[in-house]
Amino acid sequence: MRDVTLKLKSSFTVEVRGERPERFLNVAAAKGIYVSDVRRVAGGLRLRLSRAARRIMEKEMPQGLEMEPVREHGAPKVIRRFKKRYLLLGGAAMLTAALIGFSQFVWRVELSGGTQELQAEAAAFLEEQGIHPGILKSCINQNEIKREAILAMDDLMWLWVDLQGTTAYVRLADRRLPPESLATEPGNVIACETGVVEQLTVLDGKAVVGELETVEKGSVLISGIIPSDRIEEPIIRHARGSVIARVWRDKTEIIPKTIEKRNRTGEAKNIKSIKIKKFIVNFSLNSSILYPKYDRIRTKYRLGPVELINDEYAEVETETETVDTEAEAARAREEFEREILSSGAELISVTESRTDLGDRLELSMTAECLADIAIEMPM
């Protein structure tokens, strides 16, 4: 983050030349000055520092060293370049305003899920509701469209409009009734996870929850006990149905900031031995390993009860390598999203938070999605 800020602010790439240019870095560290992109060049060092840091170091320059600017970076340089180009600045302002206004509209509608016939029916319904390219995003009421669509289309189980940028992604699900249950024992439909009910379809039994109602894991959604007005005893059935709910799933990843990388030096030693049952006979005259760190590669050859063993000890050197935590966080998020989609749920959004634990980063992710939380359980 500090490097990004430095790139946006006015900064300079400079070359420090003279005797022992490392003294420049020592003085900068003592003054609390942040220096980046340090590398050696012929006769000295090339590095990058801010405008304010350059002024300080010009006054505090160690004796025998010279600092020469190579080039300037940052937004102030760009602003000065365009300062007197009023038409260009005005055009840029108008273009920015146009882009902001452009982004407030929906310019593409994409349908996914369901059969082609259902998608065609949904497209016609959305057109009737005014959901087409050119509509203001603020005019789209997702909950109202969902309710109207379910009432208008018999084959639709649920519909959701997800606005991303200037595209409206319309997700559909067929009203695919589950096969006739072979279970004859009484049973209820319960929630397999906590969520907010979005759509409830009862095939048998009596619903005990409604839309937009929060349900806990294990709570009854559709009861197999149906009260009757004609007889005193209730009717006992095997409840069946589907309950689409908005659920939130969490995952935490620990990302180390550094890893230890092992590199082989090319030095190796082989030790041969023979093993008969539990007894091992070593054939190497000198079996001591003097390498401080090594990898052992064992090869075995079995001849009946006899086992020939060759152990190769390869010397290694370790070095600490900095981990790209941003790339690792992106990888963890993609893996989390794949897990959500592979479970059959419909992913809506993912939020994340990060906690710095010193030598590692804790990444906490929460996915908001739509999933069928109904499972049948005997009473």
Give the pLDDT of the chain (379 residues) as one tens digit per residue.
444 454 556 788 888 888 888 888 888 888 888 888 888 888 888 888 888 888 888 888 888 888 888 888 765 655 555 555 556 556 666 766 666 766 778 888 888 877 788 888 888 888 888 888 888 877 888 778 877 887 788 777 777 787 787 888 888 877 654 444 444 578 899 999 999 999 998 888 899 999 899 999 999 999 988 876 666 677 888 898 999 999 999 999 999 999 988 898 888 888 888 888 778 888 777 778 888 888 988 898 888 788 888 999 999 998 899 999 999 999 999 999 999 888 888 899 999 999 999 999 999 999 999 999 999 888 7
Burial of residue 338, with CB atoms counted within 10 A of its CB: 0-12 exposed, 13-18 middle, 19 or more buried: exposed
Residues near 301 by beta carbon (within 8 Å), at least 6 away in sequence:
307, 308, 309
Largest CA distance in the chain: 106
Q: What is the pLDDT of residue 114?
A: 74
Tokens of 82: 């365009």
Q: What is the pTM of this model?
A: 0.47
Q: Is 235 helix (H, G, I), strand (E, B) or coil?
A: strand
Assign residue 89 a region: left if phi > 0, alpha if psi is -120 to 50, beta otherwise? alpha
Q: Which helix or strand (DSSP H or E) is residue 236 part of? A: strand 235-236
* Measured CA distances, 22 to 18, 42, 64, 149, 378 (Å): 10, 14, 12, 71, 76
DSSP, residue by residue, 170-233: EEEEE--PPPPP---S-EEEEESS-EEEEEEEEEESEE---TT-EE-TT-EEEESEE--SSSSS
Q: What is the DSSP letter of 238?
A: B
| Listed residue (45, 49, 66) closest to 12, CA to CA | 49
C-alpha torsion sign, points 340, 345, 349, 354? negative
Contact 236, 186 (CB under 8 A): yes
Q: What is the pLDDT of residue 182?
A: 43
Tokens of 303: 């001849």
Q: What is the pLDDT of residue 90?
A: 63
* Measured CA distances, 91 to 31, 75, 95, 96 (Å): 44, 18, 6, 9
